[in-house]
Structure 1
Amino acid sequence: MKTIWFDRGHSVRNALALIRAGANGRVRLIASHPYADAAALAAADLALIEPITADGYRDWCLDMCRVHGVDLFVPGMRRDLIAGDAAAFAALGTRLALPAAPDMLDLLDDKWAFMDAVAAAGLPVPQAWLARGGDDVRRAVAALRGQGLGACVKPRRGVFGAGFWRLEDERPLIATLMDVDARTIGVEAFAQALDDGQAPDLLILEYLPGHETSVDMLADGGRVVSAVARRKERVGQWVESEGEAIDLAAATVQLFGLSGLINVQMIEDAAGQLRLIEVNTRMSGGCLNTVFAGVNLPWWHVALELGLAHADMVPRPRGRALVAAVPDAIRLDAPAPPFSAMIRDE
């Protein structure tokens, strides 16, 4: 039996559930998190409590791999602390699941560097400017307005859309404060907030008004093993197994030579042209939906990493389905079935 460890990361609970469904008892699953009430821990065979601080985290990980006989370690949010130590883990018999070398991972986390590299390769991206102060914002927005285009902003580094705002010429600050979920702010209010020079590097981007598509992919050295696209509607998502989005995502993965479970995001511009916005070198939150295309990507990812399968065994995605996520609940203080399984018709 192989042992797989996921430390604190994104969508770990979903990953563990899908891996367990595909493994048929062939693996032991370990999850770790700094907090004992994290939901992912309840989905694992063994739960570990991580150090809260980064100090000594690398050595703690090495020790846990040795003590628990970890065959595959899939690092998450603190991957940068150990990405350069694959050889040290290998000496313990642990394979470190990394989608690329540390310098490439850093480039992909840098949205400005990513867009520069993609544009240089001739792949479509929105127009973008790097902003370090209020005047940079004003100039970039003026350039976009001169083309009849909208503008938005997001941090140079970050996840989950944190720091994203759509920029409008006339929007009172009180309107923004009263409706933060609208993610819209006045250009001058935002620019003035940057005038003190304390803001991080930001990207001012052409606002893309069309549908967003997220492509979940299993890759090996830049070659696509399997890919499923999710075209996002108002509530649901169309899960699709072929099309332009998958072709564009495949070209992106090939450009950077990526491996493992990768997520490529793109949005349509006003003319309906897909434009790349970022690559996530990890499992996406919506990857769970790809099972409706007939392929369990998280399971096949770890199966290939561990040598339990080869690429030719991965099912070909098929069909098209409209899907949506639904809320669930679990009990943390004792074993219990999922909330959905506890509901009974009276």
Structure 2
Amino acid sequence: MSKSIFLINNDGSLIELNEEGYESEDLLQRLLAEYPNLLRMDNDEGKPTRWLLVKREMGVPDDQSMNRWSLDHLFLDLKGIPTLVEVKRATDTRSRREVVAQMLDYAANAIIHWPIERIQTEFEKTAGSLGADPGQVLQNFLEESTSPEEFWNAVKTNLLAGKIRMLFVADEIQKELKRIIEFLNEQMDPAEVLGIEIRQFSGGGVKSLVPELVGQTMISEIRKSGNSKQWDEESFFSTLEERNNERELNLIRNLYNWALQNKVKVIWGKGKRTPTFTLFDERDNRTLPIFRIWASEITYLEILFGRYAKEVTELITQESRRDFADRITEATGKNFTDDEIEKYPSIHIATLSENQVKDLLKVYDWYLSILRKS
């Protein structure tokens, strides 16, 4: 059913604006890229969510291809939650099942195949293409709420935990698709599935765009508002047994047992759904970072190069980090760019053999010996 809205002129007269469709899907996509506030939703404080555009037409890889699919937009919010946006007009002839399946394909592969370094690079290219300084754009977005390093680390954390947002945008979201969105959003955690209708009205020489959020229900809000969880050894490994195969579980036990044997400090994470632990060595009232394990459905070892650069730079210089990275490459086959040895790259544990894990731990024996000589 066609709708209308009315604008009131300063003289009290009304301008009637009637609903009309968009000339093209590309027009709506361009509007979102230029005016991301059209994606109107409130954050936890009841304020409008602010968006950082990473890229329009973001390539999504799979196991065989670097750019198997093309996502309409990738945005990040202030919490570093990756938001996958697909734009569809009501006149799109594809079935709602095809549209939803496509988005789920994007999401399932993005959390596995998007390294944080690629997201950073695409953001920098996007800002540069607009003639802006990427660092300044990011600083303006963050407004001192957090540091750039903490922000990018949050993005990586969210990706590894599967904490993403899937957003369907259209001039009209049919009731059948709306119900699918609501159902998925109620069932999925920590991921979120929402829709935004952006209806267009025109008349009297002016146009108006009216966004409306779709998909938030009381059930989904209650389920996603739970408190954080304090993990420990028992809960970590019991959850791992439920989610992962025995081989992967044994590899992580080997990594954990190395920590116990070397008497390093284990700090358990507090993620609501994703168990983690981080290893540190305590020396002279200092807590020196070693590595972190993420154990969602996909398990990762995170190499804390970024923290080495800041916290143990007198022991692990840039040249030493390059040597460190080369040793890890020799042990695991994982290569690192010069840019990555300043950040937080990760290794998918399931891709490692038992011997590779042993060789990797020999590298960390070497690293630990450097820390303990200080």
- Structure showing greater Rg: 2
Larger helix percent: 2
RCO comparison, higher one (Cα < 8 Å, 6+):
1
Scaled by the length of structure 1, the TM-score of the pair is: 0.26
